[in-house]
Structure 1
Amino acid sequence: MRPLIRVAALRRTYSTSPFPSLAGTHAIITGASRGIGLAIAQRLSSQGAKLTLISRTASALEVAAASLTSPNTHRIIPGDVSSRAFWSSFSAEKDRVDILVNAAGITHSSLFLRTTEELLEDVVRTNLLGTMWACRAVGRRMMRQSPAEKRGKGVIVNVASLLAVHGGLGSAAYAASKAGVVGFTRALAAELGPGGIRVNAVLPGYVGTDMTDAMTAEARDQALSRIPLKRFGTSEEVADAVTFLVNNAYAHNCVLNLDGGLSATVSRL
């Protein structure tokens, strides 16, 4: 006679929420005043995280903070993420940091041979070096922390771009800077993982932001024709991907494409 299987004992219980609560955590988000960075801030605050928002303009940060869940619990810090001096104070601060999201970035469409040296340097400093300085300053703080239950010492998510792995006409400086972010993410994952810090990146394709709003109608239609899902992504969908990488305790050294299938159909953007 075969033994009875106790089905009830095999059932697993799942939360009805798509993501677990982040109550009691502290997240630093760069580029948080608009677009993808703001959407990430709104999503993490809705999950209960306390935020430090960083962007260049104080007035824009104030508006962003007012849109968050429990707005009075968050801190805003205006500053230039590409400046090493800006990040020097962060290494010395004592309060715990559980999450760092590097979403600050600038872009400019220009043929490489016609791009000024000043613009090339600004793009690389902001997108790549800004990410590196943030990871160094906050990573040092995370390494000094005791591991939190199920979360380790901290998690870092870098917002790169699909252009990091595909060419794009007129985007040489931007693509190079974001390719650097991807390589940096993988190297940092190998370095910090044994210490209990997870490091991941998300690579959005075309996302509906003020950057894509500035596209000509012809360029917009051409881009949409190459995306299998026939639409641009949303900042909120990028925020969902970031929140997944923050919450999944086994997500480490992930480089997550979020492009509506664009990368499967074209070799050059």
Structure 2
Amino acid sequence: MIRHALITGGSRGIGLAIARLLAKNSYRITLVSRTESHLQSALSTLPDPISPGTNSSRPTSPHSDSASVTPSPHKYVVGSVTSGMFWNKHILGSSLRHEVVDVMVNCAGIGQNSLLVRTTVEDIDKIVDTNLTSMLHGIRYLVKKRHIRRSDFGDRGKVGREAEFTPCIINIASLLGVKGGRGAVAYVASKAGVLGLTRALAAELGPQSIRVNAIVPGYIETDMTADIERTSLLSKIPLRRFGTPDEIAQAALFLATNQYANNCVINLDGGLSAT
């Protein structure tokens, strides 16, 4: 069965790696990001989830202000997740129409490299809005408008392959949200909030058969870590290397498919949290 995954921040890095792996495992993907050129490039790299020999009319096409026709079963939505206008029927809603989202991955995020007193009010708001507030708005919208499938756990007694598939929300947090970090107060606060959001929603949405989980990456090879001075940092990581986006994607696939994973927080930091 082809399922549907909505991924914010899905045009590159961890979000794109998750999109590719889910597509390989029979998911149709909707990518969300601010830059259309990045989305178009990302979309072209997603494998077709349709099994060989399966007939499909492929009715969907990328949605944007200047949508182009494509045979891909995947699509994208251009917009800023921090915008109050994005999470409404005019932008995201018009793209989803009557679609159901089986997996929502909240991966949109920005970093910080400045002491709090040197960080502008505008930058603080931007960091918290992107990394945390946008998740609140997005999850609220999808659940309220019933784009995320809900049920009454009619098959709660079944296990393994017999268990009913339950939708899953996966929030990307950060090791800094647990350990803290100098020069990233707003970022740390926002990522700690993501873990609190995950715990609260796991309890609130669980009875509606919606699972909520989080991944806590350490230092990962992405654009966000490209300019980090690594010599001393690598000496603190027991595995002596940064992780890869593909390794984070493997955790996302586990959370999407394991039907008992709710309030499951997966730590992937090469052992840095143990030091």
Cα displacement (A) at 1:245: 0.6
Look up the equivalent residue of 1:263 and give its one-letter code: S
Cα displacement (A) at 1:116: 0.4
Mapping of residues 195-214 of structure 1, within 5 Å: 195-214=208-227
Q: Structure 1 residue 35 and structure 2 residue 22: aligned?
A: no
Residue 126 (structure 2) aligns with: 122
Residue 178 (structure 2) aligns with: 165
The secondary structure found in structure 2 opposite 1:109 is: coil
The secondary structure found in structure 1 opposite 2:189 is: helix
**Matched positions, count:** 240
Pick from 93, 97, 100: which aligns with 1:96? 100
Q: Using the alignment, how far apart are the partners of 2:147 and 2:37 within structure 1? A: 29
Gaps of 5+ in 2: 49-70, 156-161
The secondary structure found in structure 1 opposite 2:32 is: strand
Residue 222 (structure 1) aligns with: 232
Which is further off, 37-46 or 140-149?
Answer: 140-149
Q: Using the alignment, how far apart are the partners of 1:125 and 1:173 within structure 2? A: 10
Which is further off, 187-196 or 149-158?
Answer: 149-158
Q: Using the alignment, how far apart are the partners of 1:32 and 1:182 within structure 2? A: 20
Mapping of residues 141-160 of structure 1, within 5 Å: 141-142=146-147, 145-146=150-151, 150-160=163-173
Residue 271 (structure 2) aligns with: 261
Q: Using the alignment, how far apart are the partners of 2:108 and 2:28 within structure 1? A: 19
User: Which structure has the larger Rg?
Assistant: 1
Cα displacement (A) at 1:210: 1.2
RMSD between aligned residues: 1.7
Deviation digits for residues 90-127 of structure 1, max 9, x if unmatched? 46832111000000000120001110000000000010
The secondary structure found in structure 1 opposite 2:213 is: strand
Look up the equivalent residue of 2:122 and give its one-letter code: E
Cα displacement (A) at 1:84: 2.4
- Structure 1 residues 151, 128: CA separation in 2 closer, same or farther (over 3 Å shift)? farther
Q: Using the alignment, how far apart are the partners of 1:69 and 1:122 within structure 2? A: 33
Pick from 20, 38, 42: which aligns with 1:60? 38
The secondary structure found in structure 2 opposite 1:231 is: coil
Q: Using the alignment, how far apart are the partners of 2:93 and 2:143 within structure 1? A: 8
Residue 72 (structure 1) aligns with: 72
Q: TM-score, normalised by structure 2?
A: 0.83
Among all aligned residue pairs of Structure 1 and Structure 2, give the percentage whose two residues are the same amino acid: 52
Q: Using the alignment, how far apart are the partners of 2:225 and 2:111 within structure 1? A: 11
Q: Using the alignment, how far apart are the partners of 1:143 and 1:35 within structure 2? A: 25
Q: Using the alignment, how far apart are the partners of 2:271 and 2:149 within structure 1? A: 40
Q: Using the alignment, how far apart are the partners of 1:73 and 1:51 within structure 2? A: 8
Gaps of 5+ in 1: 1-22
Q: Is the 8 A contact 2:166 2:259 kept in 1?
A: no
Q: Is the 8 A contact 1:45 1:69 kept in 2?
A: yes
The secondary structure found in structure 1 opposite 2:197 is: helix
Pick from 250, 267, 270: which aligns with 1:240? 250
Cα displacement (A) at 1:136: 0.9
Cα displacement (A) at 1:44: 0.4
Q: Using the alignment, how far apart are the partners of 1:24 and 1:76 within structure 2? A: 17
**Bigger helix fraction:** 1
Q: Structure 1 residue 131 and structure 2 residue 131: aligned?
A: no
- Structure 1 residues 150, 97: CA separation in 2 closer, same or farther (over 3 Å shift)? farther
Cα displacement (A) at 1:24: 1.6
